[in-house]
Structure formats: C-alpha cells, structure tokens
Amino acid sequence: MTFDEYQKLALTTAITNPDPLMDKTIWAMGISGESGEILEKWKKIVAYKDGVVTDDDTKELKKELGDVVWYVAVMAHSLGLSFDEVMQLNIDKLADRKKRGVQKGRGDNR
C-alpha cells in the first residue's frame, strides 16, 4: 500500500466538520493527543516495568502509532497535500541532513 492509498482509505473513516478551520484544528489536536497516548504508554513501560516491552505493550503501541498516522494523513489532505509527497519530502530532508552531517543540529532548517 502506498501512502496515498492509505490516505484515501483513512479519509473514508473521517468525520468532517462543515468548517474547514475546525477540521484542521481537530486533526492537529488529534496528532498531539495520540502522540501523548504513545508517550503515556511508554512512560508506564519505563517507570513501572523497567523498560521491558511485552507483546501486549507492542500491540497497544502499534495501535497508537496507527492513530497518529491516520491523523497526519487526514491533516495532510485537509491542507491539499498528497501523503506520498509529504513522506518523500521528509525522507529527502533527512537524507540531506545526513549527507551534510547535521542530523543532530538545532532548528528546522539546519
């Protein structure tokens, strides 16, 4: 499955709002919220299980990671962006940073 194919399928499950600003706001908050759920699950693994990741933990993290991807795909669409293009741009950016040896630098445009 390509990223664009995923994006099209994700959109079939999206409940939209007539106000485009509200949609974008909900998608952005969803990205943050689902990322927070990943972090909370990871905190519990580290704090209460000494970093031991069980099969159940992996299953739950996989679900939350999928939720983040869903929100990113839908948000990208709401901005008129192809998910394939977003992912390719990210890989290109990271490859360029690696080539220049600035992967650990500060700021967005290093």
- What is the C-alpha radius of gyration for the chain, rounded to an integer number of angstroms? 17
The CATH number of the structural domain formed by 3-100 is 1.10.287.1080
Q: What is the pTM of this model?
A: 0.89
- The more confidently predicted of residues 103 and 109 is 103
Instruction: Find out whether 47 and 70 touch, Cβ atoms under 8 Å.
Output: no
- The more confidently predicted of residues 110 and 70 is 70
Render pLDDT for 15-67 as a digit per residue (tens, 0 to 9): 999 999 999 999 999 999 999 999 999 999 999 999 999 999 999 999 999 99
